[in-house]
Amino acid sequence: MTKPIAGFSKLTKEEKINWIATHYTHDPKDTIRILESYWNQDTSLQKLHDEFIENTISNLYMPMGIAPNFLINDQLYAIPMVIEESSVVAAASKAAKFWLKKGGFKTKIIGTEKVGQVHFIFNGEFEKLEQFFNKTKPKLIADAFSLTTSMSKRGGGIVNIVLRDKTSRLDNYYQLHCTFETQDAMGANFINSCLEQFANSFKSEALQYDAFNAKEKEIEVVMSILSNYVPNCLAYAEVSCPVDALTISLEISPKAFAEKIVRAVDIAKIEPYRAVTHNKGIMNGIDAVVLATGNDFRAVEAGVHAYASRNGSYSSLTHAEIIDGIFKFYIEIPLALGTVGGLTKLHPLVKLNLEILQNPSAKELMQIMAVAGLAQNFAALSSLVTTGIQKGHMKMHLMNILNQYGATEQEKVTVIEHFKTHTVTHSGVVNELDSIRKK
């Protein structure tokens, strides 16, 4: 049985690899070979990667592709996407091309407000706490001045601090609900620093507040932390065209296609089982751009799915309608992003991807990502209501299956040609490959 290890982080990279290979894998030599084969040959670049996180032993590469032909507010974009799932980049590209000659995508920013909270326990009367807060609020902001000076110069800073009574849900629990503008920074460090300063000032002022009794002076701050739920940091994107222009396939009329899309979205609005997969498809597009631009896809995912549940039931993030012969498909989505700070100036590919996107501001990047999500959803729904999702997906997955079974280049050519006229299935590909090899 493997024993716990002390001081693992203090080992050299080679020592860490040797330890994990020896204690947790069947073939230590092969483990070491695989891990080292994914090191970057540029030692300075590998050192940079090693220092992104702790206990680095190798790099797990993901494919980076480009989805071209995105016309957004009359400007043409090629969007970098980092993702391992077959067909995502192809689907986004197909949707971009489809809408290119129909006016493209129109976008706007609805809001950019971000949120943080000081969570605390107060044993006393709410009226007294409220009076104390109203008196202390200006000092909370003033005490954070050294933290906000630089952000304020860029047009950001503290927007507001509000006292919230949450005692109906948890005894003696209150919040300082704080809102911020962080401009082109995602702003996590800025927000958390401000919150911790608010908490310290709030506690120290309470100790000196004469209207509080001894018990009330002892405010217990439980934690001070930003929230990844940002319902007022919203991007909007839409596409629209006359229904008659929705020529997607010879097998379905534009009118029938538009109506099916609307019904598919309506189902995702009221059926959570469908909505989860519907929104997952949207996030295929968004997460791929989040990763490509060095942003936090876990934070974006958490905030988006919370937003999808804001009305009490998990629901579709996209909307579709037909009014006076015009089909409109649109999305409103919360996206807290940054184009400065974090990996944006450290990771060479992130820097390059932002350059490919014409070095967007955070607001512009929000709109680009909203478009990526909308395009991905349109492509998925188009397949679902016509040929079905598997036909296109399995064709894209074909190469993965061939690589999994070690197909040669000639075998790949032969198998791909065969499946131009046959339905792609995993077993079908394996059987065809076996047949070729037997011959």
Instruction: Give the separation between CA 197 and CA 144, rounded to whole angstroms.
Output: 6
Q: Which of 49, 108, 280, 347 is catalytic?
A: 280
Instruction: Give the separation between CA 94 and CA 73, rounded to whole angstroms.
Output: 18
Instruction: Give the separation between CA 158 and CA 148, rounded to whole angstroms.
Output: 8
Are the CB atoms for 80 and 351 separated by under 8 Å? no
Instruction: Give the separation between CA 303 and CA 385, rounded to whole angstroms.
Output: 29
419 token code pair: 């499946």
Q: Which of 296, 364, 397, 432 is catalytic?
A: 296
321 is catalytic: no
Instruction: Give the separation between CA 148 and CA 150, rounded to whole angstroms.
Output: 6
Q: Which of 363, 393, 397, 432 is catalytic?
A: 393
296 is catalytic: yes
Q: Which of 13, 85, 218, 412 is catalytic?
A: 85
Instruction: Give the separation between CA 139 and CA 213, rounded to whole angstroms.
Output: 21
- Tell which residue, 186, 184, 107, has the closest CA to residue 374: 107
Catalytic amino acids? 85, 280, 296, 393
